Amino acid sequence: MSTNAREPIGVIGTGYVGLVTAAGFAELGSDVYCIDIDEAKIDGLRQGQIPIWEPGLAELVEKHRGRLHFSTDLADALEHARLLFVAVGTPPTYSGDADLSAVHAVVDAMPASDRHALVMKSTVPCGTGEAIKRAFREQGKEGFRYVSCPEFLKEGSAVKDFLEPDRVVIGDDGDWAGDAVAELYSPLDTAVVRTDIKSAEMVKLASNAFLATKISFINEIANVCEETGADVVEVARGMGLDDRIGPKFLQAGIGFGGSCFPKDVSALKQLAGNSGYHFQLLNAVIEVNELQKRRVIGKLEKHLGTLVGKRVALLGLAFKPNTDDMREATSLVLSARLTAAGAQVSAYDPIAEDEARRLMPGLAFADDALGAVRDADAVVLVTEWDEFKALDLSAVRDAMAGQVLIDGRNALDPEAVRGAGLVYEGIGRE
């Protein structure tokens, strides 16, 4: 991979996407001027503290300390870079639309310039680029260029995804800025989709909505498997070998969470609705996902009867393995439902505990999996961290008061679980 000096860039927002993008472009040879409004985060980054847990990120940031510059002052990026990548959050509003206030704060903070371009990495509704260009014109900043360059990295493998992407999508107006972004990505061996801004914005929303649809689809198949006696793991294996379907995102479970799928699906649904189109399929995708998280309660009641006073252990709290991200995690819904049903909930997560403690103060947190399952009537595997796949199941059974193990991610071998004297219940399989 080329590490020759390349065009310096700015990155605004140093969260999961911004910091990975910054470290990734530093790896490709750029000096990167990273800006965030969070002073504590910037102070920490200057001292080498990485605010998120993401495999390989700390090493990459350390490797390129000389190229990575951290500041709360936008002027530092504007002085050194003409391309300013925007990676601020776009969380959902109560209406389900994306909250673009952080994006607009960045737009409003830009000076009039013929030399700079905003490169949008944040996930924004289709039409945002047009609105931003209009705002630039109204603010007398028509010289400012705009590029849509949506990000597809996955938390848990974000560094790898940045350096080995399936594709890079660049939507632009055919001016210097789009070419400059394409040049930045040129060391990567990947397909580059050059297109217009609206289509680039839509590629991102449609991709996430499609993946979420695939998950809700296999979850509904799993629910039918439970009624018919088929095994969804076998069904998915048979389906996934079809080249037109593919094996990915066909793992049945207790629903998707995270900072992207729920909000992006909802944002696309609202975007369609605001334009007068009722996106019926996405309504079902969202509803199936919400119901799927709650089906665990029914499974527990099947084995334990009332949950009042019952001890239930949750293994894994992060929204997926290899991240500390708790945003929209299934564990949040599950723990709230269990507590409301009168259960006493203990929990363990290898990495996400600090954030989980903040979000779920009523839970009893343990230092390890065996600590969490001690005296439990039932255990629910919520997040399929590797360490749970390697659990000593006999030790789990000995530590528990009851025997029920709900495998919310179909991550364990049912026969091994039963062999250890536990009662196994997966999702869509016996």
Ligand X SMILES: NC(=O)c1ccc[n+]([C@@H]2O[C@H](COP(=O)([O-])OP(=O)(O)OC[C@H]3O[C@@H](n4cnc5c(N)ncnc54)[C@H](O)[C@@H]3O)[C@@H](O)[C@H]2O)c1
Q: How far apart are CA 359 and CA 346, in angstroms?
A: 14
How far is residue 231 CA from its own chain's centroid?
28
Sign of the alpha-carbon torsion through 100, 106, 111, 114: negative
The residue from 26, 57, 84, 153 that contacts ligand X (CB under 6 A) is 153
DSSP state letters, 21-33: HHHHHHHTTEEEE
User: Among 35, 100, 119, 221, which residue interacts with ligand X (rule: CB under 6 A)?
Assistant: 35
* Contact (CB, 8 A) for 403 and 423: yes
Cα 46 to Cα 70: distance, rounded to the nearest angstrom: 6
Q: Which is nearer to ligand X, 13 or 257 (CB)?
A: 13
Amino acid at 355: E
Question: Which region among 117-125, 227-235, 302-310, 401-409 touches ligand X (by CB under 6 A)?
Answer: 117-125
CA distances from 42 to 102, 118, 264 (A): 17, 21, 28
By CB under 6 A, which span of 101-109, 126-134, 297-305, 373-381 interacts with ligand X? Answer: 101-109
Task: Map the footprint of ligand X across residues 73-92, applying CB under 6 A.
Answer: 87-90
Q: Between residues 155 and 407, which has the closer beta carbon with respect to ligand X?
A: 155
Out of 11, 31, 34, 41, which residue is the one contacting ligand X (CB under 6 A)? 41
Q: Can residue 331 be called a binding residue for ligand X (CB under 6 A)?
A: no
Closest approach of ligand X to the CB of residue 333, in Å? 20
Stretch that binds ligand X, among 35-43, 225-233, 300-308, 332-340 (CB under 6 A): 35-43
Tokens of 404: 């029920």
Q: What three-state secondary structure class fits 243?
A: coil
CB of residue 104 to ligand X, shortest distance in Å: 9
Q: Applying CB under 6 A, does 221 fall inside the site for ligand X?
A: no
- Smallest distance from the beta carbon of 72 to ligand X, in angstroms? 8
Residues 358 to 397 in contact with ligand X, rule: CB under 6 A: none
Contact of 237 with 394, CB cutoff 8 Å: no
Cα–Cα dist 120/185, whole Å: 15
Comparing CB distances to ligand X, the nearer of 38 and 387 is 38
Give residues 119-148 in contact with ligand X (rule: CB under 6 A): 121-123
Smallest distance, Å, CB 3 to ligand X? 25
For residues 319 and 160, give the distance between their C-alpha atoms in angstroms, rounded to a whole number.
Answer: 19
User: In this chain, which residue has its C-beta nearest to ligand X?
Assistant: 15
Q: Which helix (H) or strand (E) holds 293?
A: helix 280-304
- Does the protein bind ligand X through residue 37 (CB under 6 A)? yes
Considering the rule CB under 6 A, would residue 212 count as an interface residue with ligand X?
no
Minimum CB distance to ligand X smaller for 267 or for 363: 267
155 binds ligand X (CB under 6 A): yes
DSSP structure string for 336-369: HHHHHTT-EEEEE-SSTHHHHHHH-TTSEE-SSH
Cβ distance to ligand X smaller for residue 12 or 285: 12
Q: Which two tokens stand for residue 304?
A: 């334990």
**First-residue to last-residue Cα distance in the chain:** 48
Cβ-based nearer residue to ligand X, 23 or 35: 35
Rounded least distance, CB 196 to ligand X, Å:
20
CA atoms within 13 A on the CB side of 265: 27
Cβ closest to ligand X, residue 119 vs residue 153 = 153
Q: Which is nearer to ligand X, 261 or 424 (CB)?
A: 261
Distance of closest approach, residue 44 Cβ to ligand X, in angstroms: 11
Site for ligand X, residues 12 to 31, rule: CB under 6 A:
12-18
Give the residue numbers marked as catalytic: 260
**Cα–Cα distance measured from residue 140 to residue 425, given in angstroms and rounded to the nearest whole number:** 62
Quote the least distance from Cβ 154 to ligand X, whole Å: 6
3-state SS class at 44 = helix
Task: Quote helix, strand, coil % in the chain, to nearest 5.
Answer: 45, 15, 40
Q: What is the DSSP string of 115-149?
A: S-EEEE-S---TTHHHHHHHHHHHTT-TT-EEEE-
Q: Does 270 bind ligand X (CB under 6 A)?
A: no
How many residues touch ligand X under the rule CB under 6 A: the total is: 27
CB of 49 to ligand X, least distance (A): 13
102: contact with ligand X by CB under 6 A: yes
Q: Is the Cβ of residue 31 or residue 36 nearer to ligand X in the bound state?
A: 36
Structure tokens at 363: 């839970």
- Binding site residues, ligand X, CB under 6 A: 12-18, 35-38, 41, 87-90, 102, 105-106, 121-123, 151, 153, 155, 259-260
